[in-house]
A and B are shown apart, each in its own frame.
Chain A
């Protein structure tokens, strides 16, 4: 009975609040899936982290130009390559009124790097964190590590007293059947406060008037709704139930552009789509040969040169994709425009290369694709299979849902498979170099089941991992890309477009990382 009363009271309260602020600036927006958890250390998935950034804040954050700027920390110095000192912002309070200080930072980073923390991998280099005084903390690293700031942008700070009070000082590990107060409740320092949440239906935030930063937005309320069905999401926008949507399907872009009162926001995203090549097995899984032709650089080049990316861009992607020769997008540190030139589309040269490699009549190969993960993923594979067939390579396309696709591909069960890499959450070329272009060893090469191995690239990657000087580091990244480009370990295809649509009266910055930052959003 008590419980019933409480819930009724909450509902009535929520109704009053929503009625009261109806005239103010509300933005209602939809994405394709819900925010999974309200715990900022619960899951390292980009959309969840991006949403929680409205409630919680990190020590340093990205601004709307994707540059790192101070947030809860005001400054930092590198005392030794493995020891960083951060000065903290004074006068910041959490939503419950508690003040923010070094104890909160220490407790939060300890929580995020705890043995059982699901996001421990987001702070791989941190070994310890210490309070120096109320407004200073020191972070101890395992060794020299240039990407600490990038990593810290994803680690949000919680209130130590609040965590202690609700018994959630240790991380929540869903795999062990844990759940905690912090999965459904929040207490951050961010520009918005959690008001109500109904999973898969609606999550409502209201503005935090006590925010320490100068507001660049004029919102008073944010209503977030996941709408999984593309058609329903577009309809919801057109019927005025939502003000903004992510994930506009390619076929609806022109319809929304022509509808009065709406705007389509488009940018080239961070995610690069590639075809990875399996050089591990002695013969192909779906091949008709005793050898593995993919081990021959000439064959790999022939595969590359027989794909007509202009056609794929213009027809399948409706002109919205950005063809690329590099495995990272221009916005990713380490991108080098001088290397971004594709081998030209040339089926004759490809046939020549195949003949030189000893396959004048081609061969049979499998091409594995997800069918629910990337824009037009299965269609792209079908198109490529047809293009390869023209140079004599018979291609068997296997389209699966992404969970199955990865299970097969990452265990080395595919010949050629489609993969995408956005370098998130790190947002640096090192993410791709260490996981895809490095040979599999220690913590490297998890996404390189195809055993691409170039000792020079490997040793460069190890140097990049600890480089202190940024210019030198970027130069080494370019060098690693250049070396691997000659090897053709995989076939880069394009960067996917990010397409949002919104009412005309909404101004919102769109960054290539695809994260919604409503604290830069104004409604006229």
Chain B
């Protein structure tokens, strides 16, 4: 277990280094930040001078080396655009994004799993057909369209929910939360629906397919033969055995949700990391872009490691297998 963890951490560090390097090579194609930072009538000397001060004239390996050296010490530089340390900016935006993403994950599980179970058990009921049809829509409509439609209906027509922002937030130490105020919760509803719509349908379809598989297996038939109630068979045995892929997918999707949050955050002006990143890209704010990409790769690495460790907890066979492999080698 310890060896596995260390191996995983080393792999993670390599992944992050690679991401940082690829990100850095891409920055040559995002353009020149200098035009955004100077007034339009700046002279040629002023432009050249700023380029020099930003270190943009240095070669790619030198720029990358400086970045890694500073990043290892926890220093991601200062944003060109906001003129504040990037680590502060990210710490400020992280709670907004994470709150939205976790609310979306919880919602997709709470709605997706029961819908999946229902459609698997009552395959031919009209409600199942409705769920199936809805899930097709959920998968095919792009996020920004959902967002705009929700805004049109619930903000402009019905005037129930705010169309942008986070509402009022409460600061708990360095964490800012919108979950403790009415306006904060109201502001969370539409972004969470937008973000989780795809996940709900994904989880529902996954649970349904897995359930159908499991229900055909022998031990379910034996369980029924033993005279166990339907509830125990369906939920105690069948559902539990379908959860393995659900955990994997959910874990992987948390990373994807943080990435997809870029679109949702832009539509709802949600002050999270995705919005920060979008603005950094249009401004060519290199310190923010590089820190964000490294941050997201870190999140992916951490989540994947946790998911792998959850396997050990959930599935006893895995523990036995690795033990045998080790002695065999």
Contact = CB atoms under 8 A, between A and B. Distances in A.
Interface in B31-64: 31-33, 35-47, 50, 53-54
Instruction: Please indicate which of the listed interface residues A39, A199, A200, A235 has the most CB atoms of chain B within 10 Å of its own CB.
Output: A200
Contact of A407 (B31, B45, B151, B163): B31
A7 interface: yes
Nearest to B51: A175
Interface stretch (A213-221, A237-245, A343-351): A237-245
A11 to B, nearest CB: 5
Contacts of B41: 121, 423, 425-426, 431, 434-435, 446
B173 A3 contact: yes
A118 B33 CA distance: 14
Contacts of A231: 148, 151, 267
B31 A404 contact: yes
B171 A177 contact: no
A4 B173 contact: yes
A36 B31 CA distance: 20
A235 B156 contact: yes
A466 interface: no
A425 B39 CA distance: 7
B327 to A, nearest CB: 51
A227 interface: yes
Given A239-B156, A403-B31, A440 B267 contact: no
Contacts of A199: 82, 84, 89, 92, 271
B146 interface: no
Interface in B249-304: 266-269, 271, 275-276, 278-279, 282-284
A183 B83 contact: yes
A132 interface: no
B170 interface: yes
Given A228-B278, A407-B32, A121 B155 contact: no
Interface in A33-53: 33-34, 36-37, 39, 42-45
Interface stretch (B73-81, B130-138, B230-238): B73-81
Given A228-B275, A231-B151, A175 B159 contact: no
Instruction: Please indicate which of the listed interface residues A201, A228, A400 has the most CB atoms of chain B within 10 Å of its own CB.
Output: A201
Contacts of B269: 200-201, 225-229, 232
Contacts of A143: none
Contacts of A423: 41
Interface of A: 3-4, 7-8, 10-11, 15, 33-34, 36-37, 39, 42-45, 118-122, 124, 172-179, 183-184, 198-202, 225-229, 231-233, 235-236, 238-241, 372, 400-407, 410, 421-426, 431, 434-435, 440, 442-447
Nearest to B267: A229
A507 to B, nearest CB: 25
B39 A45 contact: yes
A235 B163 contact: yes
B139 interface: no
Contacts of A435: 40-41, 43
Contact of B282 (A3, A8, A401): A401
A232 B151 contact: yes
Contacts of A425: 39, 41
A225 B83 contact: no
B30 A404 contact: yes
B85 interface: yes
A7 B35 CA distance: 37
Nearest to A182: B83
Contacts of A7: 171, 173
A174 B148 contact: no
